[in-house]
Structure 1
Amino acid sequence: MSTDPKIQILLTGATGYVGGSVLAKLLEHEKKSAFAITAIVRSADKAKLFAEVEERTGVPITPVQGSHSDAALVASLASQSDVVIAAADVDDLEAARAILGGLRQRYEKTGVKPILLHTSGTAVFCDHAAGLSGDAPVYDDTDLAQLAKVPDSAPHRNVELTVFEADAQGYVETYIISPSTIYGRATGILVDLGIQNPKSQQIPRLARLSVKRGRAGMVGKGLNYWPNVHIDEVADLFMVIFDEARKTKDARNPALGHGREGYYVAANGEHKLYQISQAIGKALVKLGKSDNAEPTTFTDDEVEELGGDVMANVILGGNSRTVARRGKLVGWTPAKTTSDMLASVEEEVKFALEN
Structure 2
Amino acid sequence: MNVLIYGAGGFLGSALIRRFVAGGHTVRGLVRNKDDGDALRKAGAEPVLGDLLTDPEGTVAHAADADVILYAAQLLLEPERHTVEALIDTLEGTGKTLIFTSGTGVLSQRTDGEWSEDTFAEDDEFVPSKYIGGRVDTENVVREANARGVRGIVVRPSMIWGHGRSPMLDGFRTSIEKTGAVCYIGRGLNLYSNVHVDDVAEIYHLAAEKAPAGALYHAVSGETNFRTIAQALAQKHGVAARSIGLAEGVEIWGTFAALIVFSTCSRTRAPRARRELGWLPHPDRLDVLAEIDTPVDAT
Amino acid of the structure 2 residue aligned with 1:297: S
Determine if contact 2:104/2:266 at 8 Å carries over to the other structure.
Answer: yes
1:280 to 2:233 alignment: yes
Query: 2:79 & 2:196 partners in 1: Cα distance?
Result: 29
TM-score, normalization by structure 2: 0.86
Amino acid of the structure 2 residue aligned with 1:123: G
Query: 2:284 & 2:223 partners in 1: Cα distance?
Result: 8
> Which one of the candidate residues 258, 263, 268 is aligned to 2:213?
258
For 1:286-344, what per-residue CA distance to the aligned partner results, in whole angstroms no more than 9, with x for missing partners?
A: xxx33x5xx21235664134332331133122011111111111111103489621121
Query: 1:299 & 1:181 partners in 2: Cα distance?
Result: 22
Distance 1:316 1:151, change over 3 A: closer
Structure 1: runs of 5 or more not aligned? 1-6, 187-198, 245-255
> Which one of the candidate residues 143, 154, 165 is aligned to 1:176?
154
Query: 2:230 & 2:39 partners in 1: Cα distance?
Result: 37
Query: 1:337 & 1:50 partners in 2: Cα distance?
Result: 27
> Which one of the candidate residues 176, 200, 211 is aligned to 1:210?
176
**SS of equivalent to 2:193:** strand
Instruction: Give the 5 Å matches for 1:1-355.
Output: 7-29=1-23, 31-32=24-25, 35=26, 37-53=27-43, 57=44, 61=46, 63-69=47-53, 70-89=55-74, 91-108=76-93, 112-131=94-113, 133-143=114-124, 146=125, 150=128, 154=133, 156-167=135-146, 169-185=147-163, 199-244=165-210, 256-259=211-214, 262-284=215-237, 289-290=238-239, 292=240, 295-298=241-244, 302-329=248-275, 330-336=277-283, 340-347=287-294
**SS of equivalent to 1:89:** coil
Query: 1:39 & 1:75 partners in 2: Cα distance?
Result: 12
Amino acid of the structure 2 residue aligned with 1:129: T
Query: 2:85 & 2:255 partners in 1: Cα distance?
Result: 32
Determine if contact 1:68/1:95 at 8 Å carries over to the other structure.
Answer: no
Determine if contact 1:279/1:346 at 8 Å carries over to the other structure.
Answer: no
For 1:112-170, what per-residue CA distance to the aligned partner results, in whole angstroms no more than 9, with x for missing partners?
A: 41111111111011122121x21252111144xx25x5468615323223323434x33
Determine if contact 2:19/2:201 at 8 Å carries over to the other structure.
Answer: yes
Distance 1:116 1:90, change over 3 A: farther
Query: 1:336 & 1:312 partners in 2: Cα distance?
Result: 31
Determine if contact 2:52/2:60 at 8 Å carries over to the other structure.
Answer: no
How much has 1:240 moved relative to structure 2?
1.2
Query: 1:15 & 1:332 partners in 2: Cα distance?
Result: 25
Query: 1:307 & 1:115 partners in 2: Cα distance?
Result: 36
Q: CA RMSD in A?
A: 2.6
How much has 1:97 moved relative to structure 2?
3.5
Distance 1:155 1:136, change over 3 A: farther
Determine if contact 1:229/1:336 at 8 Å carries over to the other structure.
Answer: no
Distance 1:273 1:19, change over 3 A: same
Distance 1:49 1:257, change over 3 A: closer
Determine if contact 1:142/1:325 at 8 Å carries over to the other structure.
Answer: no
Amino acid of the structure 1 residue aligned with 2:261: I
Determine if contact 1:180/1:267 at 8 Å carries over to the other structure.
Answer: yes
**SS of equivalent to 1:46:** helix
Distance 1:38 1:337, change over 3 A: closer
For 1:3-50, what per-residue CA distance to the aligned partner results, in whole angstroms no more than 9, with x for missing partners?
A: xxxx33221111100011101111111x33xx2x33221113332454
Amino acid of the structure 2 residue aligned with 1:322: T
Distance 1:314 1:47, change over 3 A: closer
TM-score, normalization by structure 1: 0.74
Distance 1:99 1:9, change over 3 A: farther
- Number of corresponding residues: 293
Determine if contact 1:181/1:226 at 8 Å carries over to the other structure.
Answer: yes
Amino acid of the structure 2 residue aligned with 1:326: R
